[in-house]
Amino acid sequence: MTSTLTAVPTAPVAGGTAATGAARRVLRVLWTRPGALVAAAVLVLLVVLALAAPLLAALAGQDPHTYHDDLVDSARGGVPYGTFGGVSADHWLGVEPGTGRDLFVRLLYGARISLLVAVGATAVQIALGVLIGLAAGLGKRWIDTVLGRVTDVFLALPFLVLAIALTAVVPRDFPRPLLLILVIGLLGWAGTSRIVRAQTLTLKSLDFVAAARLAGSGPWRTARRELLPSLAAPVLTYAAILVPGNIVTEASLSFLGVGVTPPTPSWGQMLSSAQTWFRADPAYVLLPAGLLFVTVLAFTVLGDAVRTALDPREEGRVAVGTRKAAKAARGARAAGTADASRKERSS
């Protein structure tokens, strides 16, 4: 999965000042967008629930691996007893068909896997993309050419097919979350590299970078002290876009049986096993699918807000659009008042 993103380089400022200014812009945009606030609240709640999964499991008196054969009807193939998938005071969201494992606890532990893989893979993608993009932008022409061709190859690769092949050939005893992080990260860095290279080529022609190089600063010192603060905004924006895509990728690989393996819970794995139960127990399908949809939507909405806050052109368009809308509304009200006055005089 690749996306394109453009951003305007900002004036060079100190790293701490740049980070503070960016954080303030993001908070200001969030406060003006109720949808972004709701998305941020949903993600914070999800992260807290995922981190507190062991505590909540102990509170519920359940764990994600214990079978409860007495809670499923073996005569009907393992359908849970009761309504809504066996919801009860002991099992708050019901139980898993066929096994009787607590669904609430497995969803919590599944959230840990999905978020861990998505954030870890995004970190690998950003680290590799920034490193290779800086090398291509600051290096000699032949280095730029070689790295550009390598980037083109990775962009042209069939991502999902290659990910399935790599995860399938690795021994099953290798930690699957770590394997997914490495596979998704190592295959998905090319988009970030393209963005960083383009921004580096633009920035290195500016006066402050030229002054640093004339003062004797080496390429990597220049990159660290002069370029990285200005690259932070587009890179963070792209990272916010990558996370939901990586969540879907992890769920897809687990759904296809080459991702997280049982008994470790995962939303994609639960959806895969729910294929045979969607008629007998719809809740077992709807709960992981609903959580996956809400999480991806929340990350997407929040990523769009971050992009608006960190992209000066987007922020300017929003401001201009707001002023135009306010001016049009004032003009409409003035025209309505004038029409009412004319009608009153004529009567």
CA distance linking residue 171 with residue 153, whole number of Å = 27
pLDDT score for 15: 44
- Greater pLDDT, 29 or 276: 276
- Greater pLDDT, 87 or 219: 87
294-295-300-305 Cα dihedral, nearest 10 degrees: 100
pLDDT score for 325: 47
CA distance linking residue 279 with residue 291, whole number of Å = 19
E strand or H helix at 174: none
- Section 300-311 average pLDDT: 81
Predicted confidence (pLDDT) per residue in 210-237, tens digit: 787 777 777 778 787 788 888 888 888 8
pLDDT score for 112: 93
Q: What percent of the chain has pLDDT over 90?
A: 37
pLDDT score for 1: 45
Predicted confidence (pLDDT) per residue in 13-58, tens digit: 444 455 566 667 777 777 888 888 999 999 999 999 999 999 999 9
- Section 262-289 average pLDDT: 86
Query: Considering the chain, what is the average pLDDT of its residues?
Result: 82
On the question of pLDDT at 141 being above 50, the answer is yes
> 109 to each of 65, 99, 179, how far by Cα in Å?
11, 17, 18
Burial label for 276, CB within 10 Å (0-12, 13-18, 19+), is: middle
Lowest mean pLDDT among 165-169, 196-200, 319-323, 330-334: 319-323
